[in-house]
Structure 1
Amino acid sequence: MSKRDYYEVLKISRTATQVEIKQAYRKKAMKYHPDRNQGDPEAEAKFKEINEAYDILKDEQKKAAYDQYGHDAFQNGGPGAGGFGAGGFGDIFDMFGDMMGMRRGGQGQRRTGADIQVQTEIQLTEAFSGIKKTVKYQSKKSCSSCDGSGSEDKNQGSKTCPTCHGAGKIRSQQGFFLVERPCHTCHGSGQVISNPCKKCQGTGLESQEKELEIDIPAGIEDGTRIRIAGEGEAGSNGTPPGDLYVHVSVLPHEIFQRDGGTIFCRIPVRMTQAALGAEIEVPIIDGGRTKVKIPTGTQSGKQFRLRGKGFSVLRSSSRGDMYIEVKVETPQNLTKRQKELLEEFENESQDGHDHGSPETSGFFSKVRDFFEGKS
């Protein structure tokens, strides 16, 4: 059976970046990993196929050869044959280690506390100026009973884990693959507590509600993730804490729309203002206001650019531009006198004096020629 296209295997485009390739690989590998699909030969085959595709596409030289020659580039013992390439198991272990709060290292790997994800919402005006925001979240801290040691007598009193013999990891055969994962007895530490603390069951941790004030910089984009190192959950038995990740959502604004450093604002103007010209006052995102001159005969949709009146640029003192779009409003609920005046205007236009509506005149001239067979 012929091999599937590697891009199709990972569900990515041929223009995908290395970051996108790795993200797609991790997502697929987690789904079909043997630990999650024990006894499923179809998942095992997909897992092998995914790793083979990633082994080629993560390497720029192999990827270039594959883009030019396809699978033929790796026949007869070429660099793509054989599924896992160098570092294949490392990528898998990195992925599952990160999920379990592990950091790669030597024997007796040290665990760090879990990372915490929280979300906060801010107004568009707050994203413009920057703001200090307090976030609340549930976390884990060192156990107050055992001072984080995990031991009832506040003494480490640890011994080598009998399951992994201090390695912190165990290996098992899963079909074609030798899978390495954290030890389930010592959770990767390589040590177990002889006399576990009754309050924390030997973990050295207890739950807490935490508040933290964070600085959200001016110019931040919607969906930005801010990392605060060391503010995640405490690690077991005194090991380093994880990190806090704050996902920032910028709420829509009722007047302004933002695109990067550019601000857009639609301003309604009366028909008479657009026809005769006017000077109108418009709001600015910084809370101020400015005047804009509307020339005589301005059409709906016309844009005016205000330099330096747009959004803050992240980590810069500069600002983008602001665009004002005019929306000419047709009057409603006219008085009798207003109707009379507009009817006079219309009659004047129909008597051959309509020089102010070139687009209308031009269009109906083309329509007349069409019906007369001239076009």
Structure 2
Amino acid sequence: MTAAGPLRIGFIPLVDAAALIVAADKGFAAAEGLEVELVREASWSNIRDKLAIGLFDAAHMLTPMAIASNLGLGHIKVPLAAPVSLATNGNAITVSAPLHAQLRQEAEGDIADPAVSARALAALARRREAQGLEPLTFGMTFPFSTHNYQLRYWMAEGGVDPDRDLRLVVLPPPYMVESLREGYVDGFCVGAPWNSIAVDAGLGVILHFGCEIFSCAPEKTLALRKVAAEDAFERTAALIRAVIRAMAFIGEADNRGEVAALLAAKDRVGVDAGLISRTLEGRLRIDATGATRSRSDYLRIGAAGARPAPVEAAWLYAQMVRWGQAPFAPQSLRAAVEVMRADLFDAAGGAIAPIAEAPGAIGAFSGPAFEPDAIERYLDAFAIGKKI
């Protein structure tokens, strides 16, 4: 982070960038003496690369991506610091209308149950293979993302091997809907607002909220290069405080309309304010009939949950090991946990942050409970995986 001049912060047009957008556009950053330039990007690889080489001072980032950067997975090794958790949950699995109809035909039980839909997907995948049809294709936003891990976990619990029985492809969030329209994918997992846009366009059906797969999934973080965050700590601290105050503003229901209007601007998320407001409420239309589903924990953006939690980093690292992205090694686990800089959060914002919520269990809909002190035993309990 440079000593002077505006802070250049990269973000993806997603509702879970709200704290950064509100901090900049509502004046919380200026009140801390910061000039902020928010730069909208289309893909997570752009965010990662521009932060790594110093074109960005900070970024709205996938939490698993920050960990992967620290471990040198899939890219050059660039130590990052994640001093604020920007969002928990917020994703959904959307499928095309034809695929939803096929899953309903295969389902033995309520398709709203992830265990039922996963088994229906497995039956459909076997049927397609027997008929010599192309495997189904699902989009996700990045290999190191909760979107990838939510899809894989859900599929595997039903008996689908996501690396054998179908295809997973990487797509930037803004391109998901058009890819569904063109038939390039049969479904996807992405953050808001792109699931709702697919529904409103009559192209997709929201099958599951991400919080129905993992009840408390670490989604986005504020990421900075480690050396810059530490060397320019006063500036880092000012940014942390601005984000915490923005989160408190977002958390007030009376402010929801104003927050939605800020995010709806063309150079921010750039979609209908009413859709954003519904997202912040956790009330989403799920199909073309206008049926809705509501969950208060669909997307959680709040100052009380902003303190980084090492257990979340350990869980994300375990998913990387399960799916063959990294071998298990105690030193790698330590490096993953070190990304979550609760010390920076406490030093900068402890005096203004509400009492932090104790991080709960990740809460998968099925499968073994996560054991951060026994990751290899946890992973050995799964029948499907690519553990190295």
* TM-score after normalising by structure 2: 0.22
Larger RCO (CA within 8 A; separation ≥ 6): 2
Q: Which has the higher strand share?
A: 1
Q: Which has the higher helix share?
A: 2
